Structure 1
Amino acid sequence: MPTGVAMRDVRGQLFDAAERVLLREGPSALTSRAVTAEADCAKGVLHRHFADFDAFLAEFVLDRVGRMDAEAAALRGAAGTGTVTGNLSAALTSVFTSVAVAIVPLITFRDELRARLRRTWPAGVPVLTEAVEMIASYLAAERGLGRVAADAEVDLLAPTLVGTAHLLFADRTAAPPDDEAVRRAVTGVVAAVLR
């Protein structure tokens, strides 16, 4: 980008560029140079807005986690409609076909990023813990409506569902699982508590 041309929403453009690089090439390819090249701007732009690259990555991860709030609200709003298995399958597919599945190895790959995230996110991997909270909240709503057993331990079912889905989607070299594979896995986890 030529000097003197102002970028609008610099943070958003850099975060979107980071997401594209991460999804296309994986966490090892995510460098400040790759991000700024993808955003078509000078490398100095990133460093004018963030203390260093790990600070950029920490804010990028938290921004993407924040985007899950709308998904969580939509899933809670779906309680009492459709089927529990169908709602869970769709929600888990949405989470794991987004950048979420690529963020997990990014956090694992970079020690300094993990350390920075711990300052504001004290436990777990941000994307996964947010997904667990989303699923637990939905299951609690369905339990309140009587579509899930009153004694169902939603705080145990939610991480089981997220972990199962993560295993299905984690292989970045293979095609993602089809809807039936996700539905089968979800059914295996929740069948005993459905009413």
Structure 2
Amino acid sequence: MPTGVAMRDAREQLFDAAERVLLRDGPNALTSRAVTTEAGCAKGVLHRHFTDFDAFLADLVLDRIARLEVQAVALRASAGTGTVIGNLTGVLSDLFESVAVAIVGLIISRDALRARLREARPVGVPLATEAAEMIASYLAAERDAGRIAADADVDTLAPTLVGAGHLLFADRTGTSPDVEAVHKIVATVVGGVVREPPP
């Protein structure tokens, strides 16, 4: 591997390389050597920025959670616009067509990573938990706007949507489900509480 070559934003380049390896080859192929080879840098670059590989993976997950927070703000701001089912279909498709499914699989497959993440995120499965919180916040805003029933249990509906969406997208080797499949799940889960007129 090349040495002495400056990497702009080495952390982000290493994170992006890890995502590519994860998506292409799965969690078992994700090693420090695979990441640095994919990034086109010496293995020492990773160890200059992170104490060990599990610290690198934990920071990767936390970085992707931070990105989800930006998406959560946009989703909540969309309350009252479009349709509830359409908005949820879009966010679930965006969430799970990204690297999120692969990262959840990575978290589940690595005990040391889960233990490290428990320090920052003591409850739930990181990323999936934040996705459910994002959707619950959006549903609460729609409930406040009167577009879903006042007695809708958003704290149950949100993880139900995330779990169903995750299962729909979980086959990493298959083709992604089409928008109609996602729409069907969303409509099934929240259709009974939606109070907006049909489009």
Q: Matches of 1:188 and 1:3 in 2, distance apart?
A: 54
RMSD: 0.9
Q: Matches of 2:5 and 2:192 in 1, distance apart?
A: 60
Specify the SS of the correspondent of 1:122. coil
Q: Please name the residue that 1:80 is paired with.
A: 80
Q: Please name the residue that 1:90 is paired with.
A: 90
Q: Shift in Å at residue 77 of structure 1?
A: 1.0
Runs of 4+ in 1 over 6 A off after TM superposition: none
Specify the SS of the correspondent of 1:158. helix
Specify the SS of the correspondent of 1:51. coil
Q: Please name the residue that 2:157 is paired with.
A: 157
Specify the SS of the correspondent of 1:8. coil
Equivalent residue letter for 1:18: A
Q: Matches of 1:181 and 1:4 in 2, distance apart?
A: 49
Equivalent residue letter for 1:116: R
Q: Matches of 2:153 and 2:6 in 1, distance apart?
A: 52
Q: Matches of 2:108 and 2:126 in 1, distance apart?
A: 12
Specify the SS of the correspondent of 1:175. coil
Q: After superposition, where does 1:7-156 map in structure 2 within 5 Å?
A: 7-156=7-156
Specify the SS of the correspondent of 1:168. helix
Does structure 1 conserve the Cα–Cα contact (< 8 Å) formed by 2:2 and 2:40? no
Equivalent residue letter for 1:119: E
Equivalent residue letter for 2:61: V
Q: Matches of 2:176 and 2:56 in 1, distance apart?
A: 29
Q: Please name the residue that 1:4 is paired with.
A: 4
Q: Please name the residue that 2:189 is paired with.
A: 189
**TM (normalized to structure 1)?**
0.98
Between the two proteins, what is the percent identity of the paired residues? 71
Q: Shift in Å at residue 74 of structure 1?
A: 1.1
**TM (normalized to structure 2)?**
0.96
Q: Shift in Å at residue 174 of structure 1?
A: 1.5
Q: Shift in Å at residue 152 of structure 1?
A: 0.4
Q: Matches of 1:30 and 1:136 in 2, distance apart?
A: 32
Equivalent residue letter for 2:3: T
Q: Matches of 1:69 and 1:110 in 2, distance apart?
A: 24
Q: Matches of 2:56 and 2:163 in 1, distance apart?
A: 27
Equivalent residue letter for 2:37: A
